[in-house]
Amino acid sequence: MGKIAFIFPGQGSQYVGMAKEICDHFPEAAEIFHEASEALGFDIGKMVFDGDEETLKITENTQPAIVTVSIACLQPLLIEGIQADFTAGLSLGEYAAHVYSGTFLFRDAVRLLKLRGRFMQEAVPVGVGSMVAIIGLSREQVLDACAMAKDEGVVEPANFNCPGQIVISGEAKAVEKAAAIAVELGAKRAVPLAVSAPFHCSLMAPAAEKLKAELEKVQINEMKVPVVANVNGEVVPSAEYVRESLYKQVSNPVLWEDCVRTMVGNGVDTFVEIGPGKVLSGFVKKIDKNVRTLNVEDMSSLENTLRELR
């Protein structure tokens, strides 16, 4: 019998109405929204269920919203007694993984993520930075493209999502030049991302420093389920490393491909993506086509996942 991993999505997966069906059917999921609203001081359910895309897209709203949706969608699995052997999340999704693992309280996670979103947004003025997904090049080629464009400013790999999909981040001119070089090197496409700041690069260092101070205020417990960290693609060895890995994560690349390979190497053959969208499931399939991917974001996906796992 293979092992199960719960994986949690990051920014870009959000949409108005996410988790509404699950909350309508499970009071435990609705309670998660209530708890988040109390922690944040505003009605996050109203924003997620009845708001508009523009408000939801603001980084300091998106980050706590996605983790709230993910933890709400997790509740039916917990009710059914389904547990994971490993857990991980993409960028802000790593906070949901830690909540599931018991590392810190859910209300602390949503408060941290609202601040994290604000700090990341404030680190670089809107329009100064950008991010582009490079499709069809190796890691080495993307690193070369960034090196060749650095005379225009900061440009660095930000997300190693899966083979042939690497996101670069930095100052807009440098990112544009690196993307053009990537195409010359044989990239199939260079796709600009609709983000409000250049995440996971050294320009985020001021945000990381501010977050570090906030992480110090939060109680960290020993993990009940191994969490695989974005910053090195390895299992977080103990609670004392959690703050450091989340601090470094803000201004360092997300090694998602490495995270998935670590879990597969430890016997995981079923990945359950919990929260909005199926972006991570797509990445996982490109990393290892032999594993099974399931997801939970509404009643039909939940019913299918429960059928598969029972």
**pLDDT (0 to 100) of residue 244:** 96
Q: Report d(CA 10, CA 278) in Å as an integer.
A: 11
* pLDDT for res 283: 97
Residues linked to residue 237 through DSSP beta bridges, in sequence order: none
Give 108's DSSP letter.
H
Supply the pLDDT for residue 126: 84
Mean local confidence (pLDDT), 216-242: 96
The arithmetic mean of pLDDT across residues 46-50, rounded, is 97
**pLDDT bucket at 206, cuts 50 / 70 / 90:** very high
- Give residue 256's pLDDT: 98
How far, in Å, CA of 159 to CA of 20, rounded? 30
221 phi, psi to nearest 5 deg: -105, 165
In this prediction, residue 172 has a pLDDT band, given cuts at 50, 70 and 90, of very high
Q: Does the structure show a pLDDT above 80 at 1? A: no
Please identify which of the residues 200, 245, 281, 301 carries the catalytic annotation.
200
pLDDT at residue 287 is higher than 90: yes
Q: In what order do the strands lie in the sheet with 292-296?
A: 86-89, 3-8, 268-274, 292-296
Of 70, 91, 169, 251, which is the active-site residue? Answer: 91
- Percent of the chain surpassing pLDDT 90: 95
**Equal CATH topology for 3-123+203-309 and 129-195:** no
Does 15 score more than 90 pLDDT?
yes
CA-based nearest residue to 87, from 223, 225, 224: 225
Q: Which residues contact 18 (CB under 8 A, 6 or more apart)?
A: 48, 65, 69, 275, 276, 297
Structure tokens that stand for 229 in this block = 């960290």
13 is catalytic: no
Mean pLDDT across 150-154 = 97
The domain spans of the chain are 3-123+203-309, 129-195
CATH number of the 3-123+203-309 domain: 3.40.366.10
What pLDDT shows up at residue 195?
83
Residue 307 has what pLDDT?
96
> Can you list the alpha helix ranges (DSSP code H) found in 15-58?
20-25, 27-40, 44-50, 53-57
Do the Cβ atoms of 114 and 64 come closer than 8 Å? yes
- Is residue 305 classed exposed, middle or buried when 0-12, 13-18 and 19+ CB atoms within 10 A define those classes? buried
Mean pLDDT of 205-219: 97
Nearest-CA neighbor of 128 among 93, 147, 152?
Answer: 152
Span 137-151, pLDDT tens digits: 999 999 999 999 999
Overall average pLDDT of the 56-62 stretch = 91
Say which CATH architecture domain 129-195 belongs to. Answer: 2-Layer Sandwich (3.30)
Report the pLDDT value the prediction gives residue 171, as an integer from 0 to 100: 97
Average pLDDT, the chain: 96
pLDDT of residue 310: 86
| Dist. CA 219–CA 230, nearest whole Å | 21
pLDDT recorded at residue 146: 98
138 is known as an active-site residue: no
pLDDT digits (tens, 9 = 90+) for 89-104: 999 999 999 999 999 9
| pLDDT at residue 196 is higher than 90 | no
pLDDT over 90 at 167, yes or no: yes
Residues 72 and 29: their CA atoms lie apart, in Å, by 4
CB contact at 8 A, 112 and 144: no
Query: Residue 12 — very low, low, confident or very high, per pLDDT cuts 50/70/90?
Result: confident
Instruction: Kindly tell me the burial class for residue 141, based on how many C-beta atoms sit within 10 Å of its own C-beta (0-12, 13-18, 19 or more).
Output: middle
Average pLDDT over residues 111-136: 95
Q: Return the DSSP state at 234.
A: S
One-letter amino acid at 212 equals K
